């Protein structure tokens, strides 16, 4: 008799549990083209979550800015229009300077350094995002940044007056300090902006130039390895808190997997896409030492400006990163 009661209790409990674990369908806007490794990685993450939760949480990835454009994604997640999304966090540096730490020129210039900086800043970013109603899941670096020009460029003076595509306030500032004229344009709109002559130059990864077939518009790529900006995947805090512990654990495990896989994909994509630019007909090389020297001076000025904006909090992270 006692045993029967026990069994009944177990059954009731699992029914209740099944009742509580409602199935969720989440939309995940991403700003970059479907073929891009970030988007592919987001799809792997979504698949992992679906598998790990036995299909209870289904995430639909919307690539190429098709659901929300890059600039709208953070807000869409914050306001609960979607539950999850990916954003280049440095584009929100004007809201919170700490978000721009990965775009400080010449601070972290390799994949290894990018990972180290990301680890050092993570607690601060987690906290800052939480204050904004967002839960941090993981971030993935873009390949190192280099310049695209439609002519040979050997010094900063060669850049004067060039119409430059920026993607965050750091790239706009870099343009100003090199005498170029910046216009902020999302990656999804790059091809059109170059085709119509709105811009004629940019700094980005080989990956984005390859995705957008930049060889149709420009002739030269100069590797500078200025920095490696990162895309961050974040969840609306209420949606996150509404989940069961087991579901959060499953998503956290998939996030860790996706972070590692994304890093690997980014490294792989670096040489592949630089070769792709060359195959497309571009002159792909490394910026000369004089030019790099001039850019580093500008970088030092921008580092100072960023440290001033980011205050004690930013300085503590940079110090920890440099000491490690
Ligand atoms: N591609 C993105 C950000 C950095 C990168 O490599 C872009 O150009 O918008």
Nearest-CA residue for ligand 1 atom 7 is 187
What is the rounded distance in angstroms from the CA atom of residue 206 to the CA atom of residue 144?
8
SS3 assignment, position 92: helix
Q: Which residue has the higher pLDDT, 6 or 126?
A: 126
Contact status, residue 118 vs residue 139, Cβ threshold 8 Å: yes
Partnered with residue 181 across adjacent β-strands are 163
Q: Report the 10 Å Cβ neighbour count for 323.
A: 7
Which tens digit of pLDDT belongs to each residue from 129-181? Answer: 999 999 999 999 999 999 999 999 999 999 999 999 999 999 999 999 999 99
Residue 20: band (very low, low, confident or very high) from pLDDT cuts 50, 70, 90: low
Of the candidates 104, 143, 170, 171, the one whose C-alpha atom is nearest the C-alpha of residue 321 is 104
Q: Is the Cβ atom of 138 under 6 angstroms away from ligand 1?
A: no
Ligand 1 atom showing the smallest separation from residue 167 Cα: 9
Q: Tell me how far the alpha carbon of residue 73 lies from the centroid of ligand 1, in angstroms.
A: 15
Q: Is the Cβ atom of 205 under 6 angstroms away from ligand 1?
A: yes
Of the candidates 145, 188, 180, the one whose C-alpha atom is nearest the C-alpha of residue 164 is 180
* Mean pLDDT, the chain, whole residue set: 94
pLDDT of residue 12: 35
Partnered with residue 149 across adjacent β-strands are 220
pLDDT of residue 15: 38
Which tens digit of pLDDT belongs to each residue from 55-112? Answer: 999 999 999 999 999 999 999 999 999 999 999 999 999 999 999 999 999 999 999 9
- Asked if the model's pLDDT at residue 2 lies above 90, the reply is no
Q: Is the Cβ atom of 228 under 6 angstroms away from ligand 1?
A: no
Residue whose structure tokens are 């229009």: 81
pLDDT of residue 324: 83
Domains of the chain and CATH, by start:
2-89+108-141+231-271 (3.40.190.170), 146-226+282-322 (3.40.190.170)
Ligand 1 atom showing the smallest separation from residue 31 Cα: 9
Q: Is the Cβ atom of 227 under 6 angstroms away from ligand 1?
A: no
What is the rounded distance in angstroms from the CA atom of residue 120 to the CA atom of residue 316?
9
Write the CB contacts of 207 (distance below 8 Å, at least 6 apart in sequence).
Answer: 36, 37, 142, 143, 266, 269, 270, 273
pTM score > 0.95 for this model?
no
What is the rounded distance in angstroms from the CA atom of residue 267 to the CA atom of residue 272?
9
Which tens digit of pLDDT belongs to each residue from 186-237? Answer: 999 999 999 999 999 999 999 999 999 999 999 999 999 999 999 999 999 9
- Asked if the model's pLDDT at residue 22 lies above 90, the reply is no
Ligand 1 atom showing the smallest separation from residue 207 Cα: 6
């Amino acid at each position: 008799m006692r045993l029967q009661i026990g069994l009944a209790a177990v059954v009731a409990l699992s029914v209740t549990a099944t009742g509580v674990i409602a199935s969720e369908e989440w939309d995940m806007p991403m700003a970059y083209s479907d073929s891009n490794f970030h988007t592919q990685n987001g799809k792997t993450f979504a698949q992992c979550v679906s598998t790990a939760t036995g299909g209870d949480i289904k995430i639909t990835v919307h690539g190429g800015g098709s659901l929300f454009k890059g600039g709208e994604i953070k807000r869409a997640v914050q306001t609960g229009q979607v539950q999850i999304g990916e954003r280049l966090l440095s584009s929100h540096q004007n809201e919170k300077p700490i978000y721009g730490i990965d775009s400080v020129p010449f601070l972290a210039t390799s994949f290894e350094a990018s990972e180290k900086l990301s680890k050092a800043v993570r607690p601060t970013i987690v906290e800052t995002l939480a204050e904004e109603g967002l839960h941090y899941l993981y971030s993935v670096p873009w390949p190192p940044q280099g310049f695209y020009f439609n002519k040979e460029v050997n010094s900063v003076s060669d850049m004067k007056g060039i119409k430059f595509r920026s993607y965050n306030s750091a790239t706009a500032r870099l343009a100003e300090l090199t005498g170029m004229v910046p216009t902020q344009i999302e990656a999804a709109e790059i091809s059109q902006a170059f085709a119509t002559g709105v811009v004629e130059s940019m700094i980005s990864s080989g990956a984005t130039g390859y995705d957008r077939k930049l060889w149709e518009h420009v002739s030269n790529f100069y590797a500078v390895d200025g920095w490696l900006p990162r895309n961050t995947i974040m969840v609306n805090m209420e949606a996150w808190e509404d989940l069961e512990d087991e579901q959060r654990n499953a998503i956290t495990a998939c996030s860790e997997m996706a972070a590692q896989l994304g890093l690997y994909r980014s490294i792989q994509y670096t040489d592949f896409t630089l070769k792709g630019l060359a195959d497309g007909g571009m002159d792909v090389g490394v910026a000369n030492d004089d030019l790099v020297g001039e850019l580093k001076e500008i970088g030092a000025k921008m580092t100072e400006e960023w440290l001033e904006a980011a205050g004690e909090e930013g300085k503590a992270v940079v110090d920890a990163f440099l000491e490690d």
